[in-house]
Amino acid sequence: MTTNDAEREKELSAAAAVALVEDGMVVGLGTGSTAKHAVRMIGERVRAGLKIRGIPTSSVTKTQADQEGIPLVGFDEITKIDLTIDGADEFDPHLRLTKGGGGALLFEKIVAAASDRLIVVCDAKKEVPFLGAFPLPVEVVPFGWQQVAARIKELGAQAGLRTRSDGKPFVTDAHHYILDCRFGEIRDPPALARALDAIVGVVEHGLFIDLADRVILAEGDRVREIKRH
């Protein structure tokens, strides 16, 4: 598959999700290369008259939404989000996700948890039988991160501090670090989620369980929808 094919799939998937957006909705705006297409398409619809309010999941998405002219709201102005459109790094047959490849997992999970519906948009290579080929991002407090990495290693993973191109630690929008953790095949995601939640210093992890309602996946020119039962 070429880069162009993957981009085309991302666009097709995003377009199908954006078609679900209706007047009056509060819409969660995801982060990443697929969600970016969705935000652009929502912008086009807003400029054509769609009346919605958006809530971005990262500073990058906020900047894009501002440029697109999408009216934004904060959590002080709303009680819930009608629909969120976001990408994923992997999803399994139970629509459990790995997220955080772009480093926005904390805000993404807060927005997803406040949403009536989370629609995941992605290209075909994100579908996996088991999560784990993609290293699991874990957001941690910078103070004592080495201790947190040691606890995660005890769970059976190699945990590496995410760094920027200049070698300095990558810092999230909430001023935390990210540990990219290689567990191999994750056979029991809820058990791993509980174990990570129990480590002091872990802010959040990229396992999204029971949050996604639907995955809209493009495979070549074909768009497929998978709903969670």
Q: With binding defined as CB under 6 A, does residue 209 bind ligand A5P?
A: no
Instruction: Find the binder of ligand A5P among 90, 108, 139, 180 (CB under 6 A).
Output: 108
The C-alpha atoms of residue 190 and residue 95 are separated, in whole angstroms, by: 13
177-182/158-161 β-pairing: antiparallel
CA 101, CA 87: separation in Å to the nearest integer?
10
Which residues, 6+ apart, have CB-to-CB distance to 16 below 8 Å?
121, 216, 218, 223, 225
Q: How many CB atoms lie within 10 A of CB 127?
A: 17
**Separation of first and last alpha carbons in the chain:** 31
Our finding on whether 30 is near ligand A5P (CB under 6 A) is yes
* Count of residues touching ligand A5P (by CB under 6 A): 18
CB of 195 to ligand A5P, least distance (A): 21
Q: Which is nearer to ligand A5P, 137 or 201 (CB)?
A: 137
- Of the residues 108, 185, 219, 225, only one is catalytic, namely 108
Q: Which is closer to ligand A5P, CB of 43 or CB of 135?
A: 135
Closest CA to 102 of 203, 153, 169, 172: 172
Q: Is 157 in the site for ligand A5P (CB under 6 A)?
A: no
Contacts for 151 with CB less than 8 Å, ≥ 6 apart: 199, 201
Residue from 54, 102, 135, 201 binding ligand A5P (CB under 6 A): 102
Is residue 89 within the footprint of ligand A5P (CB under 6 A)?
Answer: yes
Is residue 219 flagged as an active site residue?
Answer: no
Amino acid in the structure at residue 6: A
How near is the Cβ of 206 to ligand A5P at its closest, in Å?
A: 7
Minimum Å gap between C-beta 142 and ligand A5P is 18
Residues near ligand A5P (CB under 6 A): 30-35, 86-89, 99-105, 108
Which residues are catalytic, by number? Answer: 108
